[in-house]
């Protein structure tokens, strides 16, 4: 069980680092020419989308699930602790990805609301 926990923790850390890696901001796909004011509207919509943040609930849920799962399978104290940490990392990475997706949707809808022909 120890080697499984070690490899799972390494995979989770890699995934969480990938989730935290800086990414290019969402750039809407516009059908046709970009209207006047596109750049300022995009900047405004991106500012609005920054209000959508990850809450931390994903890390807590992941840690709880990891601890319960390891405890249910009779893991040692070290295995339970590693599972809690692993669950927290995975839960946090998933929540950050969801928050980013929600911010991208906010930009999409904001740009459409301002009259731009955004299709994706």
Q: What is the pLDDT of residues 74-104, one digit of tens each?
A: 666 666 677 777 777 777 777 777 888 889 9
User: What integer pLDDT is reported at residue 120 of this predicted model?
Assistant: 85
Long-range contacts of 92-95 (CB under 8 A, 24+ apart): 92/16, 92/19, 92/54, 92/56, 92/58, 92/59, 92/62, 93/12, 93/15, 93/16, 93/18, 93/19, 93/20, 93/58, 94/19, 94/58, 94/62, 95/54, 95/55, 95/56, 95/57, 95/58, 95/59
Is position 21 within any domain? no
Is position 16 within any domain? no
Q: Greater confidence, 50 or 95?
A: 50
Q: What is the mean pLDDT of residues 59-65?
A: 66
Domain count, the chain: 1
User: What integer pLDDT is reported at residue 23 of this predicted model?
Assistant: 72
3-44 tens-digit pLDDT: 566 666 666 666 665 555 557 888 999 998 998 899 999 999
User: Does 71 score more than 70 pLDDT?
Assistant: no
Is position 59 within any domain? yes
Half-sphere exposure at residue 8, Cβ-oriented, CA atoms within 13 angstroms = 19
Is position 61 within any domain? yes
Q: Which domain holds residue 105?
A: 2-9+30-113
pTM higher than the cut 0.75 = no
């Amino acid at each position: 069980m120890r080697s499984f926990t070690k490899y799972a923790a390494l995979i989770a850390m890699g995934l969480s680092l990938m989730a935290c890696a800086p990414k290019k901001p969402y750039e809407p796909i516009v059908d046709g020419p970009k209207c006047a004011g596109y750049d300022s509207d995009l900047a405004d919509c991106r500012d609005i989308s920054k209000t959508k943040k990850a809450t931390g609930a994903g890390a807590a849920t992941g840690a709880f699930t990891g601890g319960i799962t390891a405890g249910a399978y009779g893991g040692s104290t070290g295995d339970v602790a590693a599972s809690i940490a692993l669950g927290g990392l995975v839960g946090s990475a998933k929540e950050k990805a969801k928050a980013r997706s929600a911010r991208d949707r906010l930009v999409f809808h904001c740009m459409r609301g301002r009259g731009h022909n955004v299709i994706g």
